[in-house]
Amino acid sequence: MTHSHGHGDHVAGDRGFDGMANVTMVAATPEALQKAFNIAQWPEGQGSIDLGGRVIDVLPIPGHHPAHVAYYDRATGILLTGDHLYPGRLYISDFPAYLASTRRLAAFTEGKPVTHILGCHIEQSTTPYVDYPIGTVYQPQEHVLELGRANLLELLAELEKMKDKPVKLALRDLTIFPREPRPGRGAPKK
Ligand SMILES: [Zn+2]
Ligand SMILES: [Zn+2]
Protein backbone atom coordinates (compact mmCIF):
# COMPACT_ATOMS: atom_id res chain seq x y z
CA MET A 1 0.00 0.00 0.00
CA THR A 2 1.28 3.39 -0.93
CA HIS A 3 0.17 7.04 -0.87
CA SER A 4 0.42 10.14 -2.98
CA HIS A 5 1.98 11.93 0.02
CA GLY A 6 2.04 11.98 3.79
CA HIS A 7 -0.59 14.53 4.87
CA GLY A 8 -2.98 13.38 7.55
CA ASP A 9 -6.04 13.14 5.31
CA HIS A 10 -4.14 10.66 3.12
CA VAL A 11 -2.55 8.40 5.72
CA ALA A 12 -5.23 8.44 8.44
CA GLY A 13 -6.46 4.95 7.55
CA ASP A 14 -3.04 3.31 7.55
CA ARG A 15 -3.41 1.70 10.93
CA GLY A 16 -6.34 -0.32 9.65
CA PHE A 17 -3.81 -2.28 7.58
CA ASP A 18 -1.52 -3.04 10.52
CA GLY A 19 -0.74 -6.72 10.71
CA MET A 20 -2.79 -7.66 7.66
CA ALA A 21 -1.46 -10.58 5.67
CA ASN A 22 0.07 -9.89 2.26
CA VAL A 23 0.12 -6.13 2.75
CA THR A 24 3.32 -4.16 2.34
CA MET A 25 3.11 -0.59 3.58
CA VAL A 26 5.25 2.01 1.85
CA ALA A 27 5.83 4.97 4.15
CA ALA A 28 5.35 8.44 2.68
CA THR A 29 9.00 9.40 2.86
CA PRO A 30 11.38 9.93 -0.06
CA GLU A 31 13.64 7.14 1.22
CA ALA A 32 10.86 4.55 1.46
CA LEU A 33 9.40 5.55 -1.92
CA GLN A 34 12.80 5.38 -3.60
CA LYS A 35 13.35 1.91 -2.23
CA ALA A 36 9.87 0.56 -3.02
CA PHE A 37 9.74 1.87 -6.60
CA ASN A 38 13.42 1.78 -7.51
CA ILE A 39 13.82 5.54 -7.94
CA ALA A 40 17.55 6.21 -8.27
CA GLN A 41 17.41 10.00 -7.94
CA TRP A 42 15.01 12.03 -5.82
CA PRO A 43 13.24 14.00 -7.20
CA GLU A 44 14.69 13.97 -10.73
CA GLY A 45 14.42 10.24 -11.34
CA GLN A 46 11.43 8.03 -11.84
CA GLY A 47 10.55 4.51 -10.87
CA SER A 48 7.84 1.96 -11.47
CA ILE A 49 6.03 -1.04 -10.09
CA ASP A 50 4.74 -4.01 -12.06
CA LEU A 51 1.41 -5.11 -10.65
CA GLY A 52 1.48 -8.23 -12.82
CA GLY A 53 1.56 -7.39 -16.50
CA ARG A 54 0.51 -3.84 -15.63
CA VAL A 55 3.21 -1.27 -15.07
CA ILE A 56 2.63 1.87 -13.00
CA ASP A 57 5.21 4.63 -13.39
CA VAL A 58 6.05 6.57 -10.23
CA LEU A 59 7.31 10.16 -10.42
CA PRO A 60 8.53 12.23 -7.49
CA ILE A 61 6.69 15.58 -7.47
CA PRO A 62 7.54 17.41 -4.22
CA GLY A 63 6.20 20.92 -3.67
CA HIS A 64 2.82 20.38 -2.03
CA HIS A 65 4.53 17.93 0.33
CA PRO A 66 8.20 16.84 0.38
CA ALA A 67 7.38 13.16 -0.25
CA HIS A 68 4.77 13.54 -2.99
CA VAL A 69 4.61 11.21 -6.01
CA ALA A 70 2.41 10.86 -9.09
CA TYR A 71 1.37 7.50 -10.54
CA TYR A 72 0.83 6.83 -14.24
CA ASP A 73 -1.07 3.73 -15.32
CA ARG A 74 0.17 2.78 -18.79
CA ALA A 75 -2.82 0.48 -19.32
CA THR A 76 -5.44 3.21 -18.97
CA GLY A 77 -3.47 6.43 -19.48
CA ILE A 78 -4.70 7.69 -16.11
CA LEU A 79 -2.36 10.01 -14.23
CA LEU A 80 -2.91 10.17 -10.47
CA THR A 81 -1.66 13.50 -9.16
CA GLY A 82 -2.66 13.43 -5.47
CA ASP A 83 -2.77 16.97 -4.06
CA HIS A 84 -0.43 18.39 -6.70
CA LEU A 85 -3.15 18.92 -9.31
CA TYR A 86 -6.93 18.70 -8.88
CA PRO A 87 -9.96 20.93 -9.45
CA GLY A 88 -9.52 23.05 -6.33
CA ARG A 89 -6.99 25.06 -4.37
CA LEU A 90 -3.51 23.77 -5.11
CA TYR A 91 -1.68 24.46 -1.85
CA ILE A 92 1.99 24.99 -2.62
CA SER A 93 4.41 24.71 0.30
CA ASP A 94 7.68 24.85 -1.65
CA PHE A 95 7.20 26.88 -4.82
CA PRO A 96 10.53 26.17 -6.59
CA ALA A 97 10.09 22.44 -5.96
CA TYR A 98 6.46 22.56 -7.11
CA LEU A 99 7.41 24.38 -10.32
CA ALA A 100 10.20 21.90 -11.07
CA SER A 101 7.84 18.99 -10.39
CA THR A 102 5.19 20.44 -12.70
CA ARG A 103 7.82 20.80 -15.43
CA ARG A 104 8.79 17.14 -15.00
CA LEU A 105 5.14 16.04 -15.07
CA ALA A 106 4.54 17.95 -18.30
CA ALA A 107 7.69 16.50 -19.86
CA PHE A 108 6.85 12.98 -18.70
CA THR A 109 3.37 13.08 -20.24
CA GLU A 110 4.51 14.51 -23.57
CA GLY A 111 3.60 12.08 -26.33
CA LYS A 112 1.82 9.72 -23.93
CA PRO A 113 -1.92 9.20 -23.77
CA VAL A 114 -3.36 11.02 -20.76
CA THR A 115 -6.99 10.01 -20.55
CA HIS A 116 -7.71 11.59 -17.19
CA ILE A 117 -5.75 13.41 -14.55
CA LEU A 118 -7.20 12.44 -11.19
CA GLY A 119 -6.31 14.28 -8.00
CA CYS A 120 -7.54 13.90 -4.44
CA HIS A 121 -9.85 16.85 -3.72
CA ILE A 122 -12.52 19.01 -5.35
CA GLU A 123 -12.90 22.64 -4.27
CA GLN A 124 -13.96 24.23 -7.56
CA SER A 125 -17.60 24.68 -8.41
CA THR A 126 -19.03 24.20 -11.88
CA THR A 127 -18.88 27.98 -12.25
CA PRO A 128 -15.60 28.78 -14.01
CA TYR A 129 -12.96 30.45 -11.79
CA VAL A 130 -15.03 30.00 -8.62
CA ASP A 131 -13.97 27.77 -5.73
CA TYR A 132 -16.00 27.09 -2.60
CA PRO A 133 -15.24 29.01 0.60
CA ILE A 134 -12.46 27.47 2.69
CA GLY A 135 -13.92 25.11 5.26
CA THR A 136 -17.28 24.58 3.56
CA VAL A 137 -18.89 21.18 4.06
CA TYR A 138 -21.59 21.66 1.44
CA GLN A 139 -20.58 21.73 -2.19
CA PRO A 140 -23.56 21.75 -4.55
CA GLN A 141 -22.69 21.81 -8.25
CA GLU A 142 -19.16 20.69 -7.74
CA HIS A 143 -16.62 20.46 -10.55
CA VAL A 144 -15.95 16.95 -11.88
CA LEU A 145 -12.81 15.33 -10.49
CA GLU A 146 -11.16 14.56 -13.79
CA LEU A 147 -8.88 17.07 -15.47
CA GLY A 148 -6.89 16.78 -18.69
CA ARG A 149 -3.35 17.43 -19.84
CA ALA A 150 -4.40 20.92 -20.96
CA ASN A 151 -4.92 21.79 -17.28
CA LEU A 152 -1.40 20.59 -16.51
CA LEU A 153 0.05 22.71 -19.31
CA GLU A 154 -1.97 25.75 -18.24
CA LEU A 155 -0.82 25.29 -14.65
CA LEU A 156 2.80 25.07 -15.79
CA ALA A 157 2.48 28.19 -17.96
CA GLU A 158 1.06 30.24 -15.07
CA LEU A 159 3.68 28.96 -12.62
CA GLU A 160 6.44 29.91 -15.06
CA LYS A 161 5.01 33.46 -15.28
CA MET A 162 4.93 33.89 -11.50
CA LYS A 163 8.15 32.05 -10.72
CA ASP A 164 9.81 34.96 -8.92
CA LYS A 165 6.65 36.10 -7.20
CA PRO A 166 4.15 33.35 -6.36
CA VAL A 167 0.61 34.66 -5.97
CA LYS A 168 -2.84 33.21 -5.56
CA LEU A 169 -4.47 32.91 -8.97
CA ALA A 170 -7.87 31.57 -10.01
CA LEU A 171 -7.93 29.67 -13.30
CA ARG A 172 -11.03 28.24 -14.91
CA ASP A 173 -10.73 24.79 -13.36
CA LEU A 174 -8.35 25.25 -10.44
CA THR A 175 -6.82 27.80 -8.10
CA ILE A 176 -3.08 28.24 -7.59
CA PHE A 177 -2.58 28.81 -3.87
CA PRO A 178 1.00 29.41 -2.70
CA ARG A 179 1.44 29.07 1.03
CA GLU A 180 3.64 31.21 3.20
CA PRO A 181 5.86 29.18 5.46
CA ARG A 182 4.22 29.42 8.87
CA PRO A 183 6.89 29.07 11.54
CA GLY A 184 5.73 27.26 14.62
CA ARG A 185 2.45 26.16 13.14
CA GLY A 186 3.77 23.00 11.61
CA ALA A 187 3.19 21.74 8.11
CA PRO A 188 -0.18 22.25 6.46
CA LYS A 189 -2.33 19.23 7.13
CA LYS A 190 -3.87 18.86 3.73
ZN1 LIG B 1 -1.90 17.19 0.93
ZN1 LIG C 1 -5.23 16.09 0.69
Give the pLDDT score at 180.
77
Instruction: Return the ligand number nearest the Cα of 177.
Output: 1
| Residue 36 backbone zone (phi > 0: left; psi -120 to 50: alpha; other: beta) | alpha
The pLDDT of residue 28 is 96
CA of 10 to the centre of ligand 2 (A): 6
What's the pLDDT score for residue 13?
93
The segments of the chain whose pLDDT lies below 50 read: none
Q: What is the pTM of this model?
A: 0.94
Which pLDDT does position 187 carry in this prediction? 53
- Centre of ligand 1 to C-alpha 4, Å, is 8
**CA dist 61 → 38, 74, 157, 177 (Å):** 15, 18, 17, 17
pLDDT, residue 164, reads: 87
Q: Nearest bound ligand to CA 84?
A: 1
Instruction: Indicate which ligand has the atom closest to the C-alpha of 187.
Output: 1
Nearest to 89 by CA among 45, 57, 55, 133: 133
3-state secondary structure of 185: coil
pLDDT in tens, 48-104: 999 999 999 999 999 999 999 999 999 999 999 999 999 999 999 999 999 999 999
Cβ pair 127, 141 in contact under 8 A: yes
Ligand 1 mean position to 170 CA, how many Å?
19
